[in-house]
Amino acid sequence: MLVVTLLNQKGGVGKTSCTHHLSGTLASVLGKRVLIVDADPQASLTQGWWGPSATRTLDPSSTIAPILAGDLPHPGQVIHETGLAGLHLVPGSRAASVYNVADPTTASRESRETLREFLVEVAGDYDLALIDCPPNLYGCSFAALAASNHLVVPVQPEDYGAQGIADVLDSLDLVRSEGYPVTLLGYLLTMVQSRRALHQVYEANVREAYGDLVFAARMPEAAEFPEAIAQRKTITQYKPKGAAAKAIRAIAEELLSRTEGVQPTAKGVAA
Ligand SMILES: Nc1ncnc2c1ncn2[C@@H]1O[C@H](COP(=O)(O)OP(=O)(O)OP(=O)(O)O)[C@@H](O)[C@H]1O
Ligand SMILES: [Mg+2]
């Protein structure tokens, strides 16, 4: 199983939307067995499947919270069906916010390692895990990075100096310096309005600055993405033949090809 974290501490760049739609395409179009993990105490990814009130009333013991608390729950306790074949969810919970400590290097070993250990345990059941993170570089994001093979940084085509990339790279270095071999898979442009001159300029700037590290495929801005989530669907269920679904498929295929050649360890993650 490959584990990919989507992280940028900048808020609202499309981390959750991307995780939601990508996971649907990977499962239902590309036939992968996918586990999505909601490491954000805001639990937006979970709300996308179950709605806000069901998410709020979830028993924390059936979410990511016990994992971040340092327990290794039985997988059946915290892994749930999404209703889409091949796609399962470890929900997020407000209860996880106590583990989202500002200085993750001082956090207990448990908070830093149990997510990784949990994913190793279930690695045989999935081809891929995608982890959605909060918009900060605290304990939950640190745990996600420590559990991952790869990092994808969603960025909007705006001034790349304001996109938080340098801070994400600092966190990546920090996690790697603690012995976790997560690598940067690339930057993913999100909410792209390709006809907008300013977006074209910023996209060109990002590509010039980061070269091949920028995914060729992009997530366009499209009303269908939030519309699909409002209906508790992924884009491939909502408008399977539309341009938005095709764009997500291109991202999913590029993500898989970028991870090719990465051999999971015998334990399953963190090659
Ligand atoms: N490609 C898109 N086209 C149109 N709207 C989008 C797109 N991607 C995201 N949005 C909208 O932008 C807002 C922010 O998106 P999202 O919640 O995915 O970002 P995020 O990075 O996860 O935010 P946070 O930092 O709060 O976790 C949401 O209202 C979402 O519906
Ligand atoms: Mg989010």
At 50-84, the pLDDT tens digits run 999 999 999 999 999 999 999 899 999 999 999 99
Per-residue pLDDT averaged across 14-26, rounded? 98
For ligand 1, atom 25: residue with the closest CA: 11
Distance between CA atoms of residues 4 and 2, nearest Å: 7
Residues 6+ apart with CB under 8 A from 26: 32, 34, 127, 128, 130, 252, 255, 256
**Whether residue 13 has its Cβ less than 6 Å from ligand 1:** yes
The torsion angles phi and psi of 250, rounded to 5 degrees, stand at -60, -40
pLDDT for residue 271: 36
Is CATH 3.20.20.110 what the domain over 2-259 is classified as, yes or no?
Answer: no
> How many helical (H) and strand (E) elements, i.e. helices and strands, does the chain have?
12, 7
For ligand 1, atom 10: residue with the closest CA: 14
**Whether residue 17 has its Cβ less than 6 Å from ligand 1:** yes
- CA of 16 from ligand 2 middle (Å) equals 4
pLDDT band per the 50, 70, 90 thresholds, residue 120: very high
pLDDT for residue 260: 86
Distance between CA atoms of residues 244 and 247, nearest Å: 5
pLDDT band per the 50, 70, 90 thresholds, residue 107: low
pLDDT band per the 50, 70, 90 thresholds, residue 268: very low
Identify residues whose C-beta is under 5 A from ligand 2, the ion. 15-16, 44
- CA of 191 from ligand 1 middle (Å) equals 8
The lowest-confidence range among 20-24, 105-109, 189-193 is 105-109
- CA of 44 from ligand 1 middle (Å) equals 10
pLDDT band per the 50, 70, 90 thresholds, residue 150: very high
Looking from the CA of residue 10, the nearest atom of ligand 1 is: 25
Question: Is the pLDDT at 149 greater than 50, yes or no?
Answer: yes
- CA of 45 from ligand 2 middle (Å) equals 7
Question: Is the pLDDT at 267 greater than 60, yes or no?
Answer: no
The amino acid at residue 18 is C
